[in-house]
Amino acid sequence: MARVVLVTGVSRDLGGRFARILQAEPTVERVIGIDVIPPTLDLGRTEFVRADIRNPVIARVMSQADVDTVVHMNVIATPLSAGGRASMKEINVIGTMQLLAACQKSPTVSKLVVKSSTTVYGTSSRDPAMFTEDMSARRLPSGGFAKDSVEVEGYVRGFARRRPDVTLTMLRFANVVGPQLRTALTDFLAMPVVPTPLGFDPRLQFVHADDALEAIRLATVAEHPGTFNVAGDGVVTLSQALRRAGRLALPVPRSLGAWVGQAVRRAGVADFSPEQLDLLTFGRVVDTTLMRTSLGFDPKFTTAGALEDFLQARRGATVLHPERVEQVERVLSGAFAAAAGRSRVG
Amino acid sequence: MSAAADRASGERERRRRRPTPLISEVGQAELEPHSSAAAVAPSVPPSVPRSSAAVTPSVPPSVPPSVPPRLRPVPSGPGAVPAGAGRSAGRKSGRPAEAGPVGPPGSFAVLDGGSQPAGPDGPDLVEAGEAIAALLARLASSSLGPDWDTRAAEMLAFLRRRLTGQYEVDDFGYDADLAQHVLLALGRPLYRSWFRVEVRGVTNVPAEGGALVVANHSGTLPLDAFMTQLAVHDEHPEHRLLRPLGADLLFQTPFLGEVARKGGSTLACNEDAERLLARGEVVGVWPEGFKGLGKPFVERYKLQRFGRGGFVSAALRTGVPIVPAAIVGAEEIYPMIGNLKTLARLLGLPYLPVTPLFPWLGVLGLVPLPSKWVIEFAEPIPTHDLPDGAAEDPMLVFDLTDRVRETIQHTLYSLLMARRSVFF
C-alpha cells in the first residue's frame, strides 16, 4: 500500500501532473517530488526536493522519509530539454542506476513503478505487426532515447533480481500525446508541412496523457507486478494522422531523411532525433491485452481519439481543413444531384 | 487565361439559362449551420484558392439578383470576428481581425481553413463550385454511364475520406477503404481480361473462421499472391479477404511495402500468422518464398523446399484448416531465362531476372505475358483434431508440411495435364 511515495521527474509536465493526482489519493500520506530543476507547475502539497538523482542525496531523502513506493518518471526523451544528448544520457542511465542503488539499500521500499516506453522494441521492417510484452527487439535501438530505455529496463530487471521482495511494475507507453504535452513527435505533427519518408506509411499508436497518468496511478496505488504495454486502441498511419490534422505531407527519400531531420532540428521546429526517423519509416504497434486483463486498465482514449484531442489544441498550422473538404464535397455532390435530376427530367 | 475566360463565360451563360434552384438549395444548406461566422467569409485574404482562382475574378462582385437576399455577404469590418475564431490556436489566431478590411469583398479561399473554422462561403463558393461541378458533371455523365450521379457522389465521398483521413486502418495496416475501392479494382482488369483467371474449389476456403491457404509461388514478381487474393475475394460466396504473408524484403522496399500493408499483407512471421488466424482471418502463405518466385523457367511447376514449416505450426497452434492451392499460369508471365546475380547483390535484391522482354524493352518488359491462369483450391486438411502440443512435435509438423506440398504438386500436375496451351 502506497503511503509515502517518491516521484522522480516532477518538474516535467507528466511528472508534475502525476504528483498532483497522487496527493489527492486518500491512502497516500506524503508525496515527495524530486527533480534537478524547480517545478513549473504548482505541486500542491507535494514536498519538492531539488536534487539530482545522479548523486547519492537521493538515498538520504529516501531513508529520512521512509519512502515505501518509488515512481520513476525521469527517463527523458528530448535531448533539448535535458541540455544535450550527453546530459540526457547521464540523467537517464546514471540517474536510474543511482535511484536503484538507493532503492536497494532502503529497507522500507516495497514497490517500484517505472515509466518506460515501447521504443524498447526497436523499429525495423522485420517487426511483427504487434509486439507483446515477452517479445524483444528485432533490431536493437542504436542510440538516443530508445537505447536509454533499453538500458534503463536492463538495470531495473537487475534490481528486481536482487530485491525480489519489491513489487515491480514496468509500464511501456506508446507515444504519449496530449493537449499540453510537448514531445518530439507532437512538435513534428504540429508543423504545417511535414516531411515524411517517401514510399513508407508507418502505423503509429498513441496514448493520451490522461490515460498514461491514470495507468501510472493504478500501478502505484494497487499491486500489479509485471511489465505492461500501455497504448490506446487501434492504429493510425502517418499519412492518415497528417490528413486528419490537415497538414501537408512532404515525401522525402529515406536516404535524405537524416539530413532533413537535422534541418528540422536546427531550425528549432521539432527536437527531431535519428531514431524518430525509423519510427516514421516502419512504425511500431504493441499488443495491449495484458494491460486490460492483468493491469485492469481501460484507456479512455483510442489512438485516434488521443490524436484528435491533441489536434484540437494544435489546430493552428492546419493547411487543408477537413471541414473545408467536406464543404466542397457537399457543394459538388449537390450540384451533381441537381444536374442529374435536370438531365432525367429533360 | 483563355481557359479561365472560357469557363467564366460558360458559367455566365449557364447561370442565365438556369438561375435559381441549385444556388438557393445548396446555399441554404451551406449557410444554416454556420450562420454566426458568415460575417467574416469575405474578409479572408485571397490566398491559394487553387480550384477557384480562374473563376473568381470573373464573378461580378454584386450578388446576382436570383440569389435570395439572405445569401448576400455581410459587410465585414474590423469588429466582425466570428465566435469560432477563438478556436483556432497558434500563430494565426490574430489574423481574421487584422485582415478584415483588407480583403476584397467576395473573395474567398476554399483551402484556407486555418483561421476560419468552416466559414460559410457566401454565394461565391457555391457559384464557383457549381461551375466546376457542371464541368465535372458533363465529364462524369459521359464516362460513368446512366448511374453517373450516384457513382460520382460515391467517388466524391471516397475522395473526401481520403483527404481528411476519415477511414479506419486495422492493427496490421489493412486499409479497407483503399483496398476495396482502389487496389482490388486496379487488379481486376488484369485478373479478368489479361490472365482470365479460372478458379476451382473456392468453397474449400471455409465460409467463416480462420484458414491457412498454402500455394505455390512463381512468376518473378508476386502477382500470384495478388491474383489469389482477388480470386478468394471475388469468387468466394462470402467474399472473404485473404491476408497474404510477405517477406521482410517487401516491407523494406519503398512503395511496395506500403501498398502491401494497405492491401492486407503483413510480415511472414509466426507471431503475425497466429494473430491473424486467431482472429478468424484467411491467411495466405507462399512457403517457397524467393526460391519459388525467382526460379529459372526450366524448373517451372517444380515445387521448391517449403521453408521450415513455420506455417504448419501456426495452423496447428490455432487449430485452423490448411487449404492447399495450386496456381497454374503464373510461371509463364515473366519466363526467367537468366539471373544477373552480381547486379542483384549490388542492389540488395534476391535475384534480378532476365526474361525475353526484360531488361531489353525497359519498362515495357514489365508487362506480363498474358498466360491463362487456373487457381485450384484443394480439400482442406483439418488440424483441430490433432492433439494439443502437436505444433511442438517436429515429426508431425514435417509430415504435415510434406502432405501439403504433395497435394499442391499433384494438383499442379493434373492441371498441367489438362491444359491445352499456355495462353488459352
Q: Which residues of B touch A229 (CB under 8 A)?
A: none
Q: Which residue of chain A comes nearest to B253, CA vs CA?
A: A199
Nearest to A318 among B114, B152, B170 (CB): B114
User: B343: Cβ–Cβ under 8 A, 6 or more apart, which residues?
Assistant: B352
| Range A264-284 average pLDDT | 83
Nearest to B251 among A125, A285, A334 (CB): A125
Q: What is the pLDDT of residues B376-388, one digit of tens each?
A: 999 999 998 888 8
Q: Please tell me the distance in Å from B396's CA to the nearest CA on chain A.
A: 26
Residue A336, chain B, CB below 8 Å: the answer is: yes
**pLDDT at A142 (0 to 100):** 81
| Range B348-353 average pLDDT | 87
**pLDDT greater at residue B28 or residue B304:** B304
Q: Do A327 and B121 touch (CB under 8 A)?
A: yes
**What whole-number distance in Å separates Cα of residue A9 and Cα of residue A96?**
11
Residue B158, chain A, CB below 8 Å: the answer is: no
Q: Do A129 and B272 touch (CB under 8 A)?
A: yes
**pLDDT at B123 (0 to 100):** 60
Nearest to B113 among A129, A239, A318 (CB): A318
Q: What is the pLDDT of residues B305-336, one digit of tens each?
A: 888 888 999 999 999 999 999 999 999 999 99
| Range A78-92 average pLDDT | 84
| Range A51-60 average pLDDT | 80
Taking all residues of chain A, what is their mean pLDDT, rounded to a whole number? Answer: 89
In the predicted model, is pLDDT for residue A84 greater than 50? yes
In the predicted model, is pLDDT for residue B109 greater than 60? no
**Which pLDDT band, with edges at 50, 70 and 90, does B92 fall under?**
very low
**Which pLDDT band, with edges at 50, 70 and 90, does B125 fall under?**
low
Q: Do A135 and B271 touch (CB under 8 A)?
A: yes
Q: Which residues of B touch A132 (CB under 8 A)?
A: 271
Q: Please tell me the distance in Å from A28's CA to the nearest CA on chain B.
A: 38
Q: Which residues of A touch B123 (CB under 8 A)?
A: none
Helices (H), A37-189: 57-65, 79-82, 85-89, 95-105, 144-162, 184-189
Residue B20, chain A, CB below 8 Å: the answer is: no
| Range A3-22 average pLDDT | 93
Percent of residues in chain B assigned helix, strand, coil, to nearest 5:
50, 10, 40
Query: B168-333+368-418 belongs to which CATH class?
Result: alpha beta
**pLDDT at B308 (0 to 100):** 83
**Which pLDDT band, with edges at 50, 70 and 90, does B129 fall under?**
low
Domain locations in chain B?
168-333+368-418
**pLDDT at A345 (0 to 100):** 67
For the ranges A72-86, A263-277, B109-123, the maximum mean pLDDT occurs at: A72-86
Collapsed DSSP state (helix, strand, coil) of residue B47? coil
**pLDDT at B182 (0 to 100):** 94
Q: What is the pLDDT of residues A141-182, one digit of tens each?
A: 888 899 999 999 999 999 999 999 999 999 999 999 999 888
Q: Do A323 and B117 touch (CB under 8 A)?
A: yes
Q: Cα–chain-centroid distance for residue A157?
A: 21
Q: Which residues of B touch A123 (CB under 8 A)?
A: none
| Range A225-250 average pLDDT | 94
In the predicted model, is pLDDT for residue B345 greater than 60? yes
Cα dihedral: B24, B25, B27, B29 (round 10): 150
**What whole-number distance in Å separates Cα of residue B54 and Cα of residue A139?**
53
| Range B120-131 average pLDDT | 64
Q: Do the bridges between strand B211-215 and strand B282-285 make them parallel or antiparallel, or are there none, so unpaired?
A: parallel
On whether the CB atoms of residues A61 and A34 are closer than 8 A, the answer is yes
Q: Do B169 and A203 touch (CB under 8 A)?
A: yes
Determine which helix (DSSP H) or strand (DSSP E) holds A287, and give its type and residue range.
Answer: none
Nearest to A198 among B141, B156, B254 (CB): B254
In the predicted model, is pLDDT for residue B20 greater than 70? no
Residue B349, chain A, CB below 8 Å: the answer is: no
Residue B271, chain A, CB below 8 Å: the answer is: yes
**Exposed/middle/buried for A49, CB within 10 Å: 0-12, 13-18, 19+?**
middle
| Range B94-105 average pLDDT | 38
Which segment of A25-39, B119-133, B199-213 scores lowest on mean pLDDT? B119-133
**pLDDT greater at residue B121 or residue B212:** B212
Which neighbouring-strand residues pair with A172? A116, A229
Q: Which residues of A touch B169 (CB under 8 A)?
A: 203, 234-237, 240
What would you report as the CA-atom Rg of chain B, rounded to the nearest whole angstrom?
29
Taking all residues of chain B, what is their mean pLDDT, rounded to a whole number? Answer: 77
Percent of chain A past pLDDT 90, that is, above it, reads: 57
**Which pLDDT band, with edges at 50, 70 and 90, does A82 fall under?**
confident
DSSP secondary structure letter of residue B300: T
In the predicted model, is pLDDT for residue B86 greater than 50? no
Nearest to A334 among B25, B160, B255 (CB): B25
**What whole-number distance in Å separates Cα of residue B85 and Cα of residue A138?**
48
> Which residue ranges form the domains of chain A, and what is each CATH number?
4-177+208-231+287-292 (3.40.50.720)
**pLDDT at B122 (0 to 100):** 53
Q: Do A325 and B163 touch (CB under 8 A)?
A: yes
**Which pLDDT band, with edges at 50, 70 and 90, does A338 fall under?**
confident
**What whole-number distance in Å separates Cα of residue A23 and Cα of residue A45?**
7
Q: Do A243 and B121 touch (CB under 8 A)?
A: no
| Range A290-299 average pLDDT | 95
Q: Do A129 and B136 touch (CB under 8 A)?
A: no
**Which pLDDT band, with edges at 50, 70 and 90, does B58 fall under?**
very low
Q: Which residues of B touch A339 (CB under 8 A)?
A: 133-134, 137, 141, 149
**pLDDT greater at residue B331 or residue A42:** B331
**pLDDT at B126 (0 to 100):** 65
Q: Which residues of B touch A127 (CB under 8 A)?
A: 267
In the predicted model, is pLDDT for residue B116 greater than 60? no
Task: Give me the residues of B, 168-197, that contact A with CB < 8 A.
Answer: 168-173, 175
User: B230: Cβ–Cβ under 8 A, 6 or more apart, which residues?
Assistant: B184, B187, B188, B191, B197
Which segment of B120-129, B247-256, B309-318 scores lowest on mean pLDDT? B120-129
Q: Do A319 and B111 touch (CB under 8 A)?
A: yes
Cell numbers 476495396 correspond to B180
Task: Give me the residues of B, 33-92, that contact A with CB < 8 A.
Answer: 51, 87-92
Task: Give me the residues of A, 135-174, that contact B with CB < 8 A.
Answer: 135
Q: What is the pLDDT of residues B360-404, one digit of tens each?
A: 888 888 899 999 999 999 999 999 888 888 888 999 999 999 999
The ipTM estimated for the assembled molecules is: 0.90
**Exposed/middle/buried for A108, CB within 10 Å: 0-12, 13-18, 19+?**
middle
Q: Do A319 and B133 touch (CB under 8 A)?
A: no
Q: Which residues of B touch A335 (CB under 8 A)?
A: 22, 26, 129-130, 133-134, 137
Q: Please tell me the distance in Å from A204's CA to the nearest CA on chain B.
A: 10
| Range B414-419 average pLDDT | 94
Nearest to A236 among B93, B169, B254 (CB): B169
Residue A230: closest CA among A209, A249, A252:
A209
Percent of chain B past pLDDT 90, that is, above it, reads: 46
Percent of chain A past pLDDT 70, that is, above it, reads: 98
Nearest to A324 among B111, B162, B169 (CB): B111
On whether the CB atoms of residues B262 and B173 are closer than 8 A, the answer is yes
Task: Give me the residues of A, 248-307, that contact B with CB < 8 A.
Answer: 254, 282, 285
| Range A299-324 average pLDDT | 87
In the predicted model, is pLDDT for residue A18 greater than 50? yes
In the predicted model, is pLDDT for residue B247 greater than 50? yes
